[in-house]
Structures are given as C-alpha cells and as structure tokens.
Structure 1
C-alpha cells in the first residue's frame, strides 16, 4: 500500500497539541484559551495519550496545574503558536510502518511568521519516534482533508493561492499530493470562510465522516456570511460524486462588529470521543447532535471555543493525530 494519511477516525497512538504560551499573542484571551484547551485535553485524554508542547516555564507550570492527573506527556519545546495541524508533520501509515511528512511552513502565506514554528515538525516526529520525510513546498495540514482511501478535499482559495507556492497550478499541486501523501483523487472546492486568515482552510468547511461521505455546513439564515460558499461547495461536491451530509452552521458570529470564521466543522475525532467547538450560538446543540450521528460508538461533546477562535482556529487546528 502507498504510504498515506489514515482517516482521522482510525485508531490513534496519541494526539499532539500545544499549550497557549505567549502572552503577547493571546493578550486578554490567554487564560480563557488555556481553559478551553484544557477542557479539550481532558476529553481526549480519557481515551488516548495526549502529547503536549509547552513553550515556556510559566506555561509548563500552568499546564501541569490544569491537567494534573490526565494522561498527558509534557514536551518542553519553544514554538510560535499552538496550531499544530499546520506546523506538526502529517503522520502516515503503510505496510512498511509509520512515517511522517513535513512541509515548508511560511506562516500562512507570510502573514504570521513566528519563531519556532518551522522546527515543530522535526521535533514532533522525533518525539513520536517516526522518520520524517521533508518536502520543499508549502502545505498546511488544515488545507487538506482525507478519507483514508486516497481521496482528498481542499480549496482553490488556499492551495492555489500564490502566497503559498507561486507558479504551481492545480496539476502540479495534485502531482505533489500524489507523490508525497499518496493522494489519488482531489475534490477541489472554491473559497473558504469569510475572514479566515488561512486563506480558506478546508477543515473549517468540509470534513469526511466516512469513506466518500463529506459533511458540509448548511446556512443558518439570510445573514449567514458564508451561505454562498456553502452552496458552491455543495454543488461541487455532488458533481464530483461524493455523498454529502449537512451540519447546521453557527451563522453570523461577530466580534466588535466583524464576522469571524466560527465553524462547527473544526471538530476533532479521537479514539473514543469527538470534540466539537461551540460558540454560544443558536445551532450549537443541533450541530453537536448532527455530528454525533456520524460517529456512532463515540461520545460527542460540545466545548466552547470562542477564546481559541480569537487566534484564528479551533480544536482541529490545534491537534495532530498520531495513527496506530
């Protein structure tokens, strides 16, 4: 079998994540973000080990206090910020054993270049005891979503953005995905969510819930800022031939009068639990129930993610699964 990333719902050895550590980045949201990350870790650690990066001595002390007794292994390693979906390696499996793929990281198109982020992939692969193959093109883990069979979904807004790999067209991108990740088929969606600084990471928009089955949001009213994006994604996905299931959208979520990229799709699937971000929106409970129907046999829990979202993402963005 070609080495490729297993689907997220396949068994894990561990989950890698990081503790909010830099007060200059998080400011007033540092303590609330730590509380939300801690709640996520406690939920995951009931079912699998959590490997936690801490960037400073103060951060380590606060993490030890918040997570005392949980199945967590601490790693003292400087890093820029907690978005390990994008800075950690993508773990893969094959008949030859586990492997990891690391890619060039340029701060989401040069917007957020933080010291230490470019060292995370090598550190995590070494800590996991998995050989790392380094690939010299820009790819963030949140930009792709796989179903484990060789099928991938992504967005043109991100992977074809000239701020990532200038001069690479979709055919070259597909060739690189095939060569480095064993991806055989690519479903191209269009734009990502409004005001998403990742330029449209697909893990805020479309997630596989089974082989060939893609979950997409359904707009939550006429003021939903992403209604056209959802409709376009649905049209492209059905034309491609995947089965589509829908999840209610949180609708318009604002901070200081600006729509923010709040999404229930940024859930994380661990061995025995699915952690879904909620925002105090009207559709929180309905979305958690809908996502729960996709993963029978797992506990599905909604946890607030408003403070983490001030940094630009949610639970999927800050985690990286290490497959069994």
Structure 2
C-alpha cells in the first residue's frame, strides 16, 4: 500500500485525481448502461449441445436481469446475431463485432471520468489472455477496449499495462484493491514493480492508495482461472466498507486465504487515510465439485442502477448471503441469477459485465 496523503477534495466530496485528471468512479454511481459480450466459441461456449445451451441461457439471464434496471449493449459476433436475439430481451441492444471470448469485464475498457465529472474516458488496458495462457486467444478481444470506448463516445486512454477490469476494484475516492498475482504476474507485466503499477494506475484511474492483496481464491489458479482476480474475493461496497469472501469451513483451502486477506484489509487505509470496516460474506456451503474445491463467491456481483445482480448457486447459503448484500447496498433490489455455469467456465456475473458511468450535469448531479 502506498503511503500518500489524500489529494484535495473534488466536487461532491470526491478525492481529486492526480496526474492526468481522470478518476474511476465507484460501481455504485449511476450508470448510462452496462456492456456485455455474447459467448460464441471456445471453452466458454462449450463443446456439447448442453454446454452451449447453458452458456447462452446464463449470459442471457444476466443481461435480461440487468436490462430491468438500465440499458444493456451486447457485443455479438455477426454470425450469432440471430441466436442472441432469440435469447435476449428486446430492449438489449446488439452490437456486431468479432470476438474471441465473452468476458467483457476483462476485455472491455475501464471507464473513468474527468475530475468535474463532465467528460468520459475509457482506459484501454493491454489484454493478453490473462497472462498469455495456453488455451486463450485474444486477437479480436485485444481490440474490444478501444472499440467499446469509441462507441460510448469516450476519450480512449491507452495504457501499456497488461490488466483486466476484474483485477481492480475502486471506491471512487482514489482507493484501488488489486492482487500481487495479477498485476505483477510475469505473464502479464514481467519486470514491473509495485511502484510502476501504482504510477500507471494513478495516471489512468486516479489511484492514490493501492491496497495490494497477496492473492486470490484457490480455484482461480487452475487451468481456466485468472491467477487471482480481486473481483471474486473482495469489493468496496461504499467508502470505508469492504465486502470479503468468507470461507467458513476449515477444510476448504480458501478458509486460510480469507483469514489472510482479512488481516491485510483490516490493516490497510484508504485514500482518505481511514481504516476499513471489513464485512464477511459467507461462501456457499458447497465445498467441491468434480474438479476440486469450488471458488463460488457472492462477491462477484454487479451493482446496477437501483439494484444488485447477484450470483446464486442453488445453495442453502444463497438467501443469507444475498441478505448481506442487501444490507451493504441499502435501497437497491437484489436479484439473483444462477451463476454455476459461469463459474464452471472460470468467472461470475461481474466478470461478464462492464458498467459505463453516467456523466455529471452542470449542477454536479449525474445526468
């Protein structure tokens, strides 16, 4: 964690960004829309008819839930436009483009705003298949950040940092959560130091306090994992409040991981110099599947306008943990979507979505 003093206050109590003047707003700010990508090929779609049907049904279920709260733009390989239209609510807008995969959080841009909130930026990270993993292809996905940013009317901010949207979470005040095994991954950014990464995050998203977690969940280091994305293990629900994946069963390897991460977070300070309240969100009680210990997590939710789209698992813990989310996001309606087919493929609801924040009007309110 950097020991930088907070920057001067910006409008509405925000901490002003440094360097370039861009600041990544919190997910809880108003959105203009959510961006997604349609599964069209590879392991994400699946090899059998049942796997294909499950992928399409689950991506559509998430989009159809989100569009009940805000507009959804779905990037779709042109040949798949008819099948996507069959599955999706009529209000979901289809945007044709070539794709390799369907994890919009990671291939899309991270949206930022100018200090006064009136200009939209889109950080176009380098995407290289989660650290050049052997099964991944990214010829088309590497272009999606700039493509989506352009369609959104944003100023595209290029970056040489290999990063994915699932690798960061922010509070909108300059605090960012990230993991050593993602941004410092030799397959992503060989030779970079913490300071190098922090400098680039300051330039691109206005980060003034970087809180480095040592790792992510155990399953995330398997073949189709991301090597430690933070958005499956911890998120900032509001300034000063972190939600943490809490594996309560000592027989699961993530029990020790959760405890270690709690220690780091309780010792950390945000961009204002304040400590966090760390709220544990109990993990599903299901501990394993045919491939080993699961990383099912309620942390991998999407906050939308007036709502939260949350992962469910057909698990006896679902109701209680979604109640924790409802308490963390007062005034928002929590809608659950069965995310097991997503986790079977290496991610969750947050991983397949990317919010575009609304800009602020002349009076300083989101417009």
Counterpart of 2:299 (choices 265, 268, 271) is 265
CA RMSD of aligned residues (A): 1.5
Mapped contact 2:176–2:207 kept (Cα < 8 A): yes
SS in 1 for 2:352: coil
CA distance in 2, matches of 1:86, 1:256: 27
Could you say which residue in structure 2 is the equivalent of 1:113? 137
Could you say which residue in structure 2 is the equivalent of 1:232? 260
Could you say which residue in structure 2 is the equivalent of 1:93? 113
Could you say which residue in structure 2 is the equivalent of 1:4? 23
CA distance in 1, matches of 2:228, 2:285: 17
Q: Does 1:208 align with 2:236?
A: yes
CA distance in 2, matches of 1:244, 1:260: 23
Q: Does 1:304 align with 2:304?
A: no
Q: Does 1:161 align with 2:185?
A: yes
Query: How far off is 1:222 after superposition?
Result: 2.3
Mapped contact 2:247–2:254 kept (Cα < 8 A): yes
CA distance in 2, matches of 1:45, 1:282: 27
CA distance in 2, matches of 1:118, 1:206: 26
Could you say which residue in structure 1 is the equivalent of 2:216? 192
Segment drifting more, 204-213 vs 257-266: 257-266
Deviations 1:79-129 (A, max 9, x none): 111111111111111125111110111111111223311111111011111
* TM-score of the two chains, using structure 1 as the length reference: 0.95
Could you say which residue in structure 1 is the equivalent of 2:160? 136
Mapped contact 1:218–1:230 kept (Cα < 8 A): yes
Segment drifting more, 10-19 vs 244-253: 244-253
Q: Does 1:62 align with 2:86?
A: no
SS in 2 for 1:20: coil
Structure 1 gaps of 5+ residues are none
CA distance in 2, matches of 1:257, 1:18: 27
Mapped contact 2:39–2:101 kept (Cα < 8 A): yes
CA distance in 2, matches of 1:312, 1:221: 22
Segment drifting more, 142-151 vs 122-131: 122-131
Q: How does 1:69-88 map to 2 (within 5 A)?
A: 69=90, 71-88=91-108
Q: How does 1:232-251 map to 2 (within 5 A)?
A: 232-240=260-268, 241-251=275-285
Could you say which residue in structure 1 is the equivalent of 2:312? 278
Aligned length: 322
Could you say which residue in structure 2 is the equivalent of 1:322? 356
Deviations 1:10-43 (A, max 9, x none): 0000000011111664223221121112121121
Deviations 1:217-249 (A, max 9, x none): 222322223011100110001111211111111
Mapped contact 1:79–1:119 kept (Cα < 8 A): no
Mapped contact 1:206–1:214 kept (Cα < 8 A): yes
CA distance in 1, matches of 2:311, 2:302: 9
CA distance in 1, matches of 2:55, 2:353: 14
Mapped contact 1:85–1:319 kept (Cα < 8 A): yes
Could you say which residue in structure 2 is the equivalent of 1:293? 327
Structure 2 gaps of 5+ residues are 1-15, 269-274, 359-367
* TM-score of the two chains, using structure 2 as the length reference: 0.84
SS in 2 for 1:301: strand
Could you say which residue in structure 2 is the equivalent of 1:22? 41
Q: Does 1:35 align with 2:35?
A: no
Deviations 1:38-59 (A, max 9, x none): 12112111111000011142x2
Query: How far off is 1:282 after superposition?
Result: 2.6
Mapped contact 2:64–2:89 kept (Cα < 8 A): no
Could you say which residue in structure 1 is the equivalent of 2:248? 220
Query: How far off is 1:252 after superposition?
Result: 4.7
